[in-house]
Amino acid sequence: MFSVYKKELQSFFYTPFAYALTALFMLLFSYIFANAIAKLETTNRLMFSFTEIFYDVIIFFIFLIPIITMRTFADERKLGTEVLLMSSPLNVAKIVLGKFFANATVFLFMIAGSVLFPIVTEKNGEVVISQLICAYIGFFSWGLMFIALGMLISSFTENSITAAIIGEIVMFADLFLDDFSRTAFISQYPKLQSVLLSFAAQPRFAYFSQGFIRLSDLVFFGSAIIVLLSWTYISIERRRWNRG
Amino acid sequence: MITIENLTKYYGKNRAVNNISFTINDNEILGFLGPNGAGKSTTMNMIAGYLPMTSGKVTIFGHDITRDATNAKLELGYLPEIPPVYPDMKVTEYLSFCAGIKRIPRGKRKDEINRVMELLKITDVKGKLIRNLSKGYRQRVGFAQALLGDPKFIILDEPTVGLDPNQVVEVRKLIKSLKKDHTVIFSSHILSEVSEVCDRVVIINKGDIRAIDTIENLESTFSDSLSLHIKIKGSKSKAASIIETTEGVKEILSIDDEGNDIYSFVVQLSGDAEEIQDKLMADLLGSQIRIVEIFTEKPNLENVFIDLINRPVKKERLEDLLNEIVPETDSADDSAEDDEDEEKEDI
């Protein structure tokens, strides 16, 4: 598993890929941060929980995370290297986990730079640290879930661009699932509404960003990751069986 | 020893490999010969454990490739048709990744990588990105990967495709040298290559095995059907009647009119070719027919191959014949093995 992890990291960090992605993320983050500062009403002191910022940043996740995950399995298949992995003593579960951890590491690297903003704010004002930490935990869990989702989508196709686009669509749908389920139309069917709401990640993130760590939310993200990774495993095995 | 038993593969309703069985003995190089699309790569992929089989069993030194996959895969090195290389990696990075997934102990990796690079003569490109290598080098990097960890069983799917003639010779030499302490299965559609390198050959076409034998045996099986070519100048009917009545001549296969009273006959013989040829020459000259050209054609391997792959397969059972017409949708076999395979398929 470690070999796969290392190889994946090499493919991100020995190429400009991870750096370019991080630069893009920082650019977006700075833009949102600057906007948020400008909108601030208090004149003498900066008091900041970064909640709003993270809310806005989540939207960009939808574009950034599929870029991390799109190549995961699609490229292996395209290059014919899937054969190498499958005919080696590694089992598929280890391959999936190795790749997941590598993607998670790149994601962590990407968001690590954003810590700079609270530090700067703290120097010149005040940051609600507890909320910030909670928001980061929520931010990271959500990211991991989207990574697992992106990997699953990448295992469906041979084309990484297709994987990225489908990933964006699905993640977008998930982001607005709670808005959608609160529409008047869905409200007519309370059972359907509650089912839809239970799949929505947005309200769960809201708790994190307000400084709550609820066990149920952690379980939600954790189980979503496990389900999606298992599904990825099944999808790869299934493709081998049905190939042709 | 590697045993392949009743291996069958369906892609949807298309049958790619049909119930093939053979064994590969220790320290043997087995050639796997067939035209493009014969099912060679599918079979290789199944033996290497990449593709699951629809039914059948592959055992590598006692380890079943599906049930005891990890142990079986530790014993094998596989070079697929397209070398499985990552273009963004350097040669040494790639090989050390492969060494990792093949569970070569950390301390031994460096020596092992150097050893295979020496063998394949790729040490001079070890710091280069694979993306920048030529097709021949990539092929050799893929080959080096298959030899990492010195597995006892080596599967090579068309290893010489894309190499220049010099490299082909070297790679063939390397494959021959592997025989000392490895078992090799090696696929190709180039006959001369197979006859040069392999101990035995399996000839396959459209998913069916057409022959399993040594090259010599295959040649000798077909040597009783020699054909004689005679070109004469003179009367066509007279010559034909003489040829027909000569002892040892089976039949006249064709007569071509080449103009100026020259006719060329192709005659199928049964018996000692030289004796018949001498007798025919004497008879024809005796009847004032001039012989312009006479020679017997030996069946070379090329002809044997073409003949074998085009020969219709004998159906042993009625079911097989029916399968040919109506591909079977689900296996009727009730054996536990098949059931399990199907369950996996349903996941």
**If you write DSSP's letter for every residue of A43-104 in order, what string do you get?**
SS--EE--HHHHHHHHHHHHHHHHHHHTHHHHHHHHHTTHHHHHTSS--HHHHHHHHHHHHH
Q: Taking CB atoms and an 8 Å cut-off, how many pairs form between chains A and B?
A: 86
Q: Pairing state of beta strands B153-157 and B290-297? A: unpaired
Which ranges of A155-243 does DSSP label H, i.e. alpha helix? 160-175, 177-181, 184-187, 190-199, 202-209, 215-242
> Do B209 and B233 meet the contact criterion of CB atoms below 8 Å apart?
no
Q: Does B48 touch chain A (CB under 8 A)?
A: yes
- List beta partners, residue B332: none
Tens of pLDDT, residues B60-99: 998 988 888 888 899 899 999 889 999 989 999 999 999 9
Query: A7 contacts in B (CB within 8 Å)?
Result: 86, 89, 97, 100
Q: Which of B264, B279, B297 is at the close of a domain? A: B297
pLDDT at residue B222, rounded to an integer: 64
pLDDT at residue B319, rounded to an integer: 64
Question: CATH number for the domain including B231?
Answer: 3.30.70.260
Query: B102 contacts in A (CB within 8 Å)?
Result: 88-89
The closest alpha carbon to B113, from B101, B126, B103, belongs to B126
Report the b/e string of B24-48 with b at 16+ CB within 10 A. Answer: beeebbbbbbbeeebbbbbbbbbbb
- List beta partners, residue B63: B60
What average pLDDT does this structure show over A153-181?
88
Select from A88, A237, A240 the residue whose CB has the most chain B CBs within 10 Å, as the one to mutate to test that interface.
A88
Same domain, B328 and B243: no
pLDDT at residue A243, rounded to an integer: 59
What average pLDDT does this structure show over B216-245?
78
Q: Evaluate whether residue B67 is within a structural domain.
A: yes
Please say if the pLDDT value at position A13 is more than 70.
Answer: yes
The DSSP symbol for B215 reads: H
Same domain, B207 and B230: no
Residue B126 dihedral angles phi and psi, to the nearest 5°: -65, -25
Same domain, B322 and B291: no
DSSP per-residue codes, B197-213 = H-SEEEEEETTEEEEEE
Please say if the pLDDT value at position B250 is more than 80.
Answer: no
pLDDT at residue B307, rounded to an integer: 73
pLDDT at residue A233, rounded to an integer: 93
Please say if the pLDDT value at position B346 is more than 50.
Answer: no
pLDDT at residue A224, rounded to an integer: 93
Tens of pLDDT, residues B267-290: 877 777 778 888 888 888 888 888
CA distance B198 to A235: 39
Q: Per the structure block, which two tokens stand in for A46?
A: 């900066």
CA-nearest residue of chain A to B53?
A: A241
Quick one: pLDDT band at residue B155, thresholds 50, 70, 90? very high
What average pLDDT does this structure show over A76-82?
89
Nearest to A88 among B45, B102, B347 (CB): B102
Tens of pLDDT, residues A21-59: 999 999 988 888 888 777 776 655 556 667 777 777 778
Please say if the pLDDT value at position B300 is more than 70.
Answer: no
State the total domains in chain B: 2
Q: Pairing state of beta strands B183-188 and B153-157? A: parallel
Share of chain A above pLDDT 70, in %: 95
Same domain, B273 and B216: no
Please say if the pLDDT value at position B342 is more than 70.
Answer: no
Tens of pLDDT, residues B303-316: 677 777 777 666 55
List C-alpha distances in Å: B250 to B149, B211, B316: 57, 26, 30
Q: Evaluate whether residue B136 is within a structural domain.
A: no
Q: Per the structure block, which two tokens stand in for A95?
A: 């391959």
Please tell me the least confidently modeled range out of A1-10, B36-45, B234-243, B297-306: B297-306
Q: How far is B49 from chain A (nearest CA, A)?
A: 6
CA distance A15 to A21: 11
The closest alpha carbon to B149, from B119, B177, B173, belongs to B119
Query: B74 contacts in A (CB within 8 Å)?
Result: 89
Same domain, B161 and B292: no
Share of chain B above pLDDT 70, in %: 86
Query: A88 contacts in B (CB within 8 Å)?
Result: 73, 98, 101-102
- In degrees, to the nearest 5, what angle opens at C-alpha A62 toward C-alphas A56 and A66? 150
Tens of pLDDT, residues B28-40: 899 888 888 888 8
Handedness of CA B314, B318, B320, B323 (dihedral sign): positive
- Domain, as residue range, for B275: 224-297
The DSSP symbol for B103 reads: T
Same domain, B289 and B228: yes
Q: Evaluate whether residue B212 is within a structural domain.
A: yes
Please say if the pLDDT value at position B323 is more than 50.
Answer: yes
Same domain, B274 and B324: no
Tens of pLDDT, residues A102-140: 999 999 999 888 888 888 888 877 777 888 888 888 888
| Pairwise pLDDT comparison (A148 vs B10), residue with the higher score | A148
> Do B199 and B32 meet the contact criterion of CB atoms below 8 Å apart?
no
pLDDT at residue B266, rounded to an integer: 84
CA distance A92 to A230: 10
Same domain, B171 and B276: no
Same domain, B178 and B273: no
| Residue tagged 């396959």 (tokens) | B204
Other beta carbons within 10 angstroms of residue A229's beta carbon come to: 21
Contacts of residue B59, defined as CB under 8 A and 6 or more positions apart, other chains included, come to B2, B3, B5, B65, B72
Q: Evaluate whether residue B328 is within a structural domain.
A: yes
Same domain, B164 and B39: yes
Q: Evaluate whether residue B276 is within a structural domain.
A: yes
Report which secondary-structure segment, H or E, holds B231. Answer: strand B227-233
pLDDT at residue B339, rounded to an integer: 41
Q: Evaluate whether residue B118 is within a structural domain.
A: no
Please say if the pLDDT value at position A198 is more than 90.
Answer: no
Region of residue B206 (left: phi > 0; alpha: psi -120 to 50; beta: else) = left
Question: CATH number for the domain including B313?
Answer: 3.40.50.300
Same domain, B157 and B293: no
Tens of pLDDT, residues B156-191: 998 888 788 888 888 888 888 888 889 999 888 877
Same domain, B65 and B159: yes
> Do B212 and B315 meet the contact criterion of CB atoms below 8 Å apart?
no
User: For chain B, what is the largest distance between any 2 Cα atoms, rounded to a whole number of angstroms?
Assistant: 84
Strand order in the sheet with B2-11: B14-24, B2-11, B55-60, B63-64
CB–CB contact B84 A7 (8 Å): no
Mean pLDDT computed over every residue of chain A = 85
Please say if the pLDDT value at position A232 is more than 90.
Answer: yes
Please say if the pLDDT value at position B218 is more than 80.
Answer: no
Tens of pLDDT, residues B120-139: 888 999 889 999 998 888 99
Please tell me the least confidently modeled range out of A124-128, A174-178, B316-320: B316-320
